[in-house]
Structure 1
């Protein structure tokens, strides 16, 4: 079945978001409710979308101490992406693509910026249908500048073709965010995605998160990262790819990007957590690539 942008998606099976998308949304809310200000990112709309019930903070994966590094990482990467989008929008870039959007809430939290863009959220059809329903139920709706782009990756549907069908203009520059996605793809699939994105119009920017191999991570964090990988495997979504920063930079340059730089966890720490009285810092288990055309 083909669903065009703006068409009712009630015929799509509304399966809800996957567990990692929900966990990410709840960690963002936990940052607001548990960590003292200033908050790196203030997002409780994802919590409202997920609607996990009153006992959500009692979940094992919401332990205030055990999740400290991970929730800091989640809010840091989201804040970095949003700062980049705001910067590029100020330079006249008019398109923002979120691959694996999950419960992203940029459009709802930052409408003063988002309404100046066309925002494309790419995700599986079931979760997209569910999110559309939740946005409507909560009164946010789906404005014309927000395009929910359903892509059945398991059926081999081309996300690029669906993006174009939703109104994306490849001749105009864009910001593309792919966070929390690369580890679920094979190395070849990541390389193919980078080649596709390197063909974007000049002036486009990609920000992509990636996981470094465990041997490059602080030994104190390895048990938690192994547990995260085990949980992903048990959920049927195993981590398939790890990249050293130099490997990811080489992959981006080989794909055809004009420039690529590594934004380390240490750099995000300095940018967003320096001087905090609570000592909050982020995990070094995820790094960022920023590549431009």
Structure 2
């Protein structure tokens, strides 16, 4: 039985796997995500999602497979695909400009270390996650019979512990003096604002000036009547799953918070910009199955001063 901590990550892996398997031109190509899921898990998630079409898109008419595709393209995959594409594009730029460490916070079933391109070979990659999810990830990877990359390091850490950064500093491969790139994808939604700010501050203090942090975040309309339909349903789903979304931010509020922890916004994308920059090639190739960036979710790349 998969532990509760990994359920959200499992659905994210499913959406990446489905997209990779069903499209030639991809928003983001996670060629290994399917291998991390058992056939039973994949089929169970597919069945549950297709059966939920009435919730996601009332009035839909079509086959079960058509329903699944609509749910995946419309509700499940836009965020995992878009933010992963954004993060790895930014990581490549950072690596070419001297970043030598990649810290993946709440790594879940991220597969970058196992499909890393040549430009990443000089990076030291650190996957940080809750011990339960980290152990499940390692079990799944070991079943693939693929060798652990020599530049990959696992750091099991409970981020709710006040001294969690000590686990990172205890990792012999980690060097707090070298420029690093950190991924905090999918984290902001579930932390109160003061907790996220404290978390950002702790991450920033681990790294030297010039280091980058990438994350996605819900905008200030997320919990209002002005939120998009998909967002309203996502908020409902999170609450029902016992993982309620807890915070949203305006650009100005985010900018001030980042300044307080010594970070400056380097790149920022709104949903319209995400669709235009990251999804256009895919949408041109699949006009019958368009994907648009998730409502009310922005991407941010910040750099430590």
TM-score range, shorter chain: 0.7 to 0.9
What is the distance in 1 between the residues matched to 2:253 and 2:32?
36
Instruction: Give 5+ residue unaligned stretches, structure 2.
Output: 53-66
- State the partner residue of 2:300: 289
SS in 2 for 1:73: helix
SS in 1 for 2:104: strand
The question of 1:96 aligning with 2:96 is answered no
Q: Which of 33, 38, 47 lines up with 1:58 in the alignment?
A: 47
- State the partner residue of 1:39: 26
Deviation of 1:228 after TM superposition, in Å, equals: 1.7
CA distance 1:140–1:114, change in 2 (3 Å)? farther
CA deviation map 1:158-213 (0-9, x unaligned): 33211111232111110001010111111111111222233321220111111113
The question of 1:211 aligning with 2:198 is answered no
Q: What is the correspondence of 1:1-293 to structure 2 with a 5 Å cutoff? A: 15=3, 18-34=6-22, 36-51=23-38, 52-60=41-49, 63-70=68-75, 71-154=77-160, 156=161, 158-166=163-171, 167-199=173-205, 200-214=207-221, 222-274=228-280, 276-277=283-284, 278=287, 279-293=290-304
Q: Which moved more, 1:159-168 or 1:60-69?
A: 60-69
SS in 1 for 2:69: coil
What is the distance in 1 between the residues matched to 2:224 and 2:85?
23
Tell me if the contact between 2:269 and 2:298 (Cα under 8 Å) persists in the aligned partners.
yes
What is the distance in 1 between the residues matched to 2:239 and 2:69?
23
SS in 2 for 1:249: helix
- State the partner residue of 2:64: none
What is the distance in 2 between the residues matched to 1:86 and 1:107?
13
Deviation of 1:66 after TM superposition, in Å, equals: 3.0
What is the distance in 2 between the residues matched to 1:217 and 1:38?
35
Deviation of 1:47 after TM superposition, in Å, equals: 2.3
Tell me if the contact between 1:94 and 1:117 (Cα under 8 Å) persists in the aligned partners.
yes
CA distance 1:130–1:80, change in 2 (3 Å)? same
CA distance 1:164–1:55, change in 2 (3 Å)? same
SS in 1 for 2:280: coil
Counting matched residue pairs gives 278
Runs of 4+ in structure 1 off by over 6 angstroms are: none
Deviation of 1:112 after TM superposition, in Å, equals: 2.7
Instruction: Give 5+ residue unaligned stretches, structure 1.
Output: 1-12
What is the distance in 2 between the residues matched to 1:37 and 1:143?
27
Q: CA RMSD in A?
A: 2.5
What is the distance in 2 between the residues matched to 1:16 and 1:45?
22
Deviation of 1:257 after TM superposition, in Å, equals: 1.6
What is the distance in 2 between the residues matched to 1:86 and 1:165?
27
